[in-house]
Amino acid sequence: MKLWGGRFNTEPDKLAEKFTASISFDSRLAKFDCIGSIAHVKMLGKQSIIPLKDASRIVKALQFILAKIEAGKFKIDPSCEDIHTNIEKEVIKLAGQAGKKMHTARSRNDQIALDEKLYLKEEIKIIIKKLEESVENLKKFSNKNKDMVIPGFTHLQHAQPVKFTEYIGAYIEMLKRDISRFKDTFKRLNYMPLGACALAGTSFPIDRNFVSRALGFTMPTKNTLDSVSDRDHVIEFVSACAILSIHLSRFAEEMILWSTKEFAYIEISDAFTTGSSIMPQKKNPDIFELIRGRTGRIYGGLVGLLTLMKGLPLAYNSDMQEDKIHLFSVADSILDSLDIFSEVVSHIKLNNACIKKSMFKDYTEAVEIANYLTKKGLNFKDAHTIAGKLVLYCLKMDKDFSELTIADFKKYSDKFTENVFDVLKVKYAGNLR
Ligand code: ARG
């Protein structure tokens, strides 16, 4: 079945038909297509654009189809061009001639824009829930190790000691920003495009506010051309996913590093690691590697979408059909990554002894020694130089600061007194906060 056969003398070429069809990927919008159509048809009936009894027949058919979709029992017809055609065909089967009135005062251009928005609204809610769960799990991971101090790094070199809770807190902040980014995207996309029709609206007396309210939108969109050709929300959603994937990937990278023999800061439980087919000793952090690797797909989707939209003249163009390939691939990838991320953090054990060992002779208290001298009246520049010289002395003697005597300290400044050893303890108590 075609939605547009009348004007054509010949049947479409099979290859052309296959090339232009989108049913293989837009079929996953089936549920949203029904939900949108139910609101649309109720409005058509209410406005007497179609007889009320026809409207109720169509709605009944759509509800029947929707229930089948939700039960996983709806069979997609691959011979249909797209999901809109497929649902309409089913409606006509169930509601007879009345079914042919469903597409009054509508085009597939505004219909697909609506379907995508309904899909995104649901997807964003799922992602936000997952993100909130991930934040909770990170908090648990952090609290479980709340007394730990680890080296903070800059340039991947030991810099200053930090509390583990502060370290993980950085990732919690990132994920909270992600949550707010998805909420923003939701707010901006929550305008109802149906009624724009192909691009210029319709001469039927439609009630867009009714449809908008019925579907939980803030209000209808303002401009008809923009309504059918805007994909900002898809790009925004995918951008938010891309930024989130940076955060997950950075965390993954840390865990991969920390699980190496060189760091040995963490142990990932066996159930969340994999072995090697040749090297019996191997225990690989595949999950984190794959979370890191997924960013490739996600950035690919973003670049695909940006490229797709660049230079498209108003209004709808078929190029836009391709947006779903990127959108679904990104949404699926990010949800997969989030699912496993949320779980795996509770399967990481800190190796306290190795962390402590790595901090011995790392001189991360040097800043505190310089601050100590500054508080005793030296300018920071000179204090910095003295602390630096002490580091050099320690390196030469192969000693930790804590192994120096007060006499050693005094060789570099007479400002040092016994209480310098209190400053050194800071290293194992975390940063000063
Ligand atoms: N399948 C299209 C899409 O996914 C919707 C239909 C657009 N309209 C058209 N005349 N081809 O964007």
Which amino acid would we find at residue 173?
E
pLDDT interval class at 432 (50, 70, 90)? very low
Q: Say how many Å lie between the CA of residue 25 and the centre of ligand 1.
A: 12
What value does the mean pLDDT take over residues 170-176? 98
Per-residue confidence (pLDDT) for residue 361, from 0 to 100: 95
Query: For residue range 375-384, what is the model confidence (pLDDT) as tens digits?
Result: 999 999 999 9
pLDDT interval class at 7 (50, 70, 90)? confident
Q: Which atom of ligand 1 is nearest to the CA of 81?
A: 1
Query: For residue range 215-242, what is the model confidence (pLDDT) as tens digits?
Result: 999 999 999 999 999 999 999 999 999 9
Catalytic residues: 155, 276
Q: Please report, for the chain, the start and end positions of each structural domain, with discontinuous segments joined by +.
A: 14-104, 109-207+216-356, 360-429
Q: Which atom of ligand 1 is nearest to the CA of 318?
A: 11
A 10 A CB-CB count for 386 gives 18
Q: Name the fold adopted by 360-429.
A: Ribonucleotide Reductase Protein R1; domain 1 (1.10.40)
Helix (H) / strand (E) element for 153: namely strand 149-154
Alpha-carbon distances of 52 from 49, 92, 102, 106, 128, rounded to whole Å: 9, 17, 12, 18, 39
C-beta 50 within 6 A of ligand 1: no
What value does the mean pLDDT take over residues 28-54? 98
- Class of domain 14-104 as given by CATH: mainly alpha
CATH of the domain spanning 109-207+216-356: 1.20.200.10
- pTM confidence score: 0.94
How much of the chain, in percent, has pLDDT values that exceed 70?
98
Q: Say how many Å lie between the CA of residue 430 and the centre of ligand 1.
A: 58
Q: Which of 138, 168, 137 is nearest to 150 (CA)?
A: 168
Q: What contacts 307, CB < 8 A, 6 or more positions away?
A: none
Best substitution site from 26, 32, 81, 109 to test ligand 1's pocket, by max atoms within 8 Å of Cβ?
A: 109
- Alpha-carbon distance of 97 to 271, in angstroms, equals 58
